[in-house]
């Protein structure tokens, strides 16, 4: 498959284009990532278009992509019939678009050599062992406009979401990481950018960022702002 990253439509409030963010729709916190991207764009005074990726043709004209969390084996099985993941991997190699991955999405990136690191699934334990903890972030923390905390209503199943963790002050390098059946980096040659105490839980390899936790479940949007800034730089 040969998909080019063409821009036949208009967009971004920088001027000519709207940045288009693809998000794999095979599993995980897809709606949470979409909300996080829209909030991050608002903080930067921009607009972005979220483009769900369900089939290979959806990859056209995107500027960046998000691999959400979930269960990595189930994600591979869900995408197998359409050959979607292989086309996504080819598209990333061809276009070199920025990538943000979380949890199981990071497993997929490591397994396919998009991050110079090896990783183990469910290394922090089972679902019952999920936890949150302050993290140290070494990514630059850009200045942003103040944004009010969101009050989330019930989802379409009628459940009330848990309150999201508020955003850290702009000058802070702390972040509350939420770990759910989280993977663990075994060996890492990519740049370490997030630490849980002395353990690496976030790596950057060029314009690809892999996290073992779930930033989309907080109101701290710095990692989604990072993706937008990387898309701006490569567009």
Q: Which of 49, 103, 110, 167 does the annotation list as catalytic?
A: 103
- The DSSP symbol for 11 reads B
Please state, in angstroms and rounded to a whole number, the distance separating the CA atoms of residues 186 and 178.
Answer: 19
Burial letters for 112-148: b for 16+ Cβ neighbours within 10 Å, e otherwise? Answer: eebbebebeebebeeeeeeeeeebbbebebeebeeee
The verdict on whether 156 is a catalytic residue reads no
- In the block, tokens 């288009």 appear at 20
β-pair type (19-24, 64-67): parallel
Pick from 219, 24, 32: which is nearest to 109 by CA?
Answer: 24
Write down the catalytic residue from 35, 49, 167, 216: 216
φ, ψ dihedrals at 95, nearest 5° = -95, -20
* Annotation says 103 is catalytic: yes
Q: Which among 33, 110, 167, 214 is annotated as catalytic? A: 214
In the block, tokens 């959806």 appear at 58
Known catalytic residue at 191:
no
The DSSP call for residue 108 is: H
Asked if residue 147 lies in contact with residue 186, where contact means CB atoms within 8 angstroms, the answer is: no
The Cα 105–Cα 101 span in angstroms is 5
Residues with a catalytic annotation lie at 103, 214, 216
């Amino acid at each position: 498959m040969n998909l080019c990253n063409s821009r036949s439509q208009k967009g971004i409030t920088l001027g000519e284009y709207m940045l288009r963010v693809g998000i794999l729709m095979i599993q995980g916190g897809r709606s949470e990532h979409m909300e996080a991207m829209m909030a991050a764009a608002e903080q930067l005074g921009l607009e972005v278009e979220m483009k769900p990726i369900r089939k290979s043709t959806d990859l056209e004209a995107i500027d960046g992509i998000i691999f959400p969390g979930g269960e990595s084996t189930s994600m591979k099985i869900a995408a197998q019939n359409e050959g979607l993941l292989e086309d996504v991997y080819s598209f990333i190699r061809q276009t070199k678009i920025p990538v943000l991955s979380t949890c199981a999405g990071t497993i997929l990136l490591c397994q396919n050599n998009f991050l110079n690191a090896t990783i183990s699934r469910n290394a922090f334990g089972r679902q019952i062992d999920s936890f949150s903890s302050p993290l140290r972030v070494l990514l630059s923390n850009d200045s942003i406009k103040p944004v009010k905390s969101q009050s989330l209503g019930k989802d379409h199943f009628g459940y009330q979401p848990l309150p999201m963790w508020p955003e850290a002050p702009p000058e802070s390098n702390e972040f509350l990481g939420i770990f759910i059946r989280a993977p663990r980096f075994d060996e890492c040659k990519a740049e370490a950018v997030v630490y849980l105490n002395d353990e690496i839980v976030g790596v950057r390899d060029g314009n690809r960022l892999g996290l073992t936790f779930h930033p989309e479940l907080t109101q701290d949007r710095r990692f989604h702002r990072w993706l937008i800034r990387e898309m701006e730089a490569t567009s």
